[in-house]
Structure 1
Amino acid sequence: MNRPTAWLRAEPVLEHVLRLCAAAGTEADQAHRVAEVRAAWAGAPLVLLDDRAVIACAEAGLPRRGGIVLVVAGTPPPDCWEHVVRLGVEQVVSLPEDEPWLAAALADSTDAPAGTRGRVLAVLGGRGGAGASVFATAVALAAVGAGANALLVDCDPMGGGLDLLLGAEEEPGLRWPDVRLRSGRVPVSSLHASLPGRTKGKSRLTLLSGAREGDGPSSDAVVSVVEAGKRAGETVVCDLPRAPDPATRAVLDRADLTVIVIPAELRAAAATKRLSKYLAAQGVQPALVVRNAPHLRPSDIAKAVDLPLLATYRRDPGLPARLDGGTFPLRGSLSRASNTVLRALKTGAGRVR
């Protein structure tokens, strides 16, 4: 089990943290000097340090990493802030005021890979019926096929539900109308336990789908889910509607990469041009994923809409029937395009925000 590492010399603070660990179902490996922290640096999902420990670790040259938390009682002393920045401390926790945040972070830590943050992909269609939902699902499946955990989030309140694409409409688990979330931290383990999913080896695809009736997601709920996936190091893929709404804007604000999926058609290019102007006003410049068509080249479409071309794929005429039959075969050019986008998401090569 992944366990946090704690170097906390104030006995009341340490006891408080150990109680929170027990409530979260984990234990903390206690350190007493820099060498012990260094030994756990690469493997611990969460590192809890007091102000003196932060200074010692920074002066010892430990590299920046995610998941470092400064834990104090009261206010941190001024002489530690330079070292907080140098070490890349993610959060400053003052006990007892910030106990809820730390308790949720400890619960997350049992699920999170050490020092990693998940990346978020936003997928939109350049026009209606462009295939954005299919492509978003394909990228999530590609992530699982590559050995990662993925969280596929259906953000279209008027869509038919992504569970239909995976043949999961009869599977137990919550959909958006059943999810009662407001702002706040949600442990990813709760999502795994309550949502339908697919597994391949040790990797899992967790699906939060819309439904055929009921309300769509609120922006606060979407943020809570996306942040849970990021903290757990998962690949988060969000299928967004073309019409802007608060949930869409919340995802775009957090996306590491945004792609627009369109067929190589003149009408699709015109619609995408308008969509890209809206995104530019939000500070987002997306990349294009173009489905080949007989008469126009993907490069011509990219030039017409003035966006970078990230990937192309061919239409599979047999895919709709297979999807209706409850199977999603990830193969051929769709598989290659999905993996191209996945690599760009991981490396940041496609990020143009």
Structure 2
Amino acid sequence: MPRFFPIPAAGGQRVSARIRIVSPGTLATIQDQGRFGYRRIGVPQSGVLHADLAWVANQLAENSVNTALIEFFFSGPTLHLEEGTVRLALTGDFSAELIRDKIKRTLKSWRTVTLEAGDTLQIGPVMSGKASYIAITGGLKLSPVMGSCSTYLRGGFGGLDGKKLLPDSILTVTQKTVESNPDHQLPRLSDLESLGLMQSASKVDLPNRIRVIMGPQDDYFTAAARHDFLTGTYKVSRESDRMGSRLEGPTLVHHPDKKPEIISDGIVPGAIQVPGSGTPIVLLADGPTVGGYPKIATVSSVDLPRLAVMPPGSQIRFEAITPEVAEALLLAHRKNLVELITTVEPLALTGIVDIEALYNTCLISGVIDALTMPTKSDPHENQQ
């Protein structure tokens, strides 16, 4: 997907920064787009589960598409900036609190936020439980393994020594010019649902349509099983993880003239394999590189990111499409993502007023510093 930087560059200074993880949140790891070219030796792709969300985060942070970032689920991390200045981009269905000089300010996601030394950023719960991302402008100082900084937990490599983020983990930011232009945001949040980046609360309990290409071994199943696969409703099991999404629903019966196993062959993220139990498993980023069970279908690339991050209990209904339709859908989707990024606009007010900066930029000729005046307590203050 092409890079697109909508925010004009402004003058800045070269800095390095250190971020300390106060609390890691849930399943927080360092991921990029994944490692490619090693499946032949049994190394999975790994990488972000929701490539679209990660792409938007890196675009907001003005990074290249493959810049490593933080992926988390359910609850977010708490970050403390020990030194330097850094800009973060937040994507996902959550809010956060920026703590600066003991003043708390509530922030929404789908924006950037610039941290100064001593600031703490607390990421709240993820409303949908789905994957969310924090991109750091300039990226992190990491050692690539086989061309990628993605964390592969089962293999114990990539990211931070192959581990999840832990309390007191240190993230060192790659040196980059920190621009003096304002933080920015995506203003048209209504577009996010249509692009599969968010889901409204009213639709959480409704089945999600997931488009698939049938095969390559759909002939290993009875006609009734193929019908049930496309007409039944499945739920994401609690046994799902980064390796695969296990589904609960109609049991798929193998054809009596076929065995429920095949000679192991290559397998990719999105493949839906069905073991002898008849329970479908959608393989994901950390899934195996070969498999010995027949694959009834493969999830289309345009819908795989949505499915990959669905929390347990989410409902799914499959719809068969052709490879040609799948390709057209993906190209149109990527075009829409680029158009979304063109709507990015500067934030008019960061919420923590820098009086000296206002004087220096000649935005005012004289003001009353309201922050130094005694006022009555307002429960809504410091919120945006």
Pick the TM interval, shorter chain: under 0.3
Higher RCO (CA < 8 A, seq sep 6+): 2
Superposition TM-score, scaled by structure 2 size: 0.25
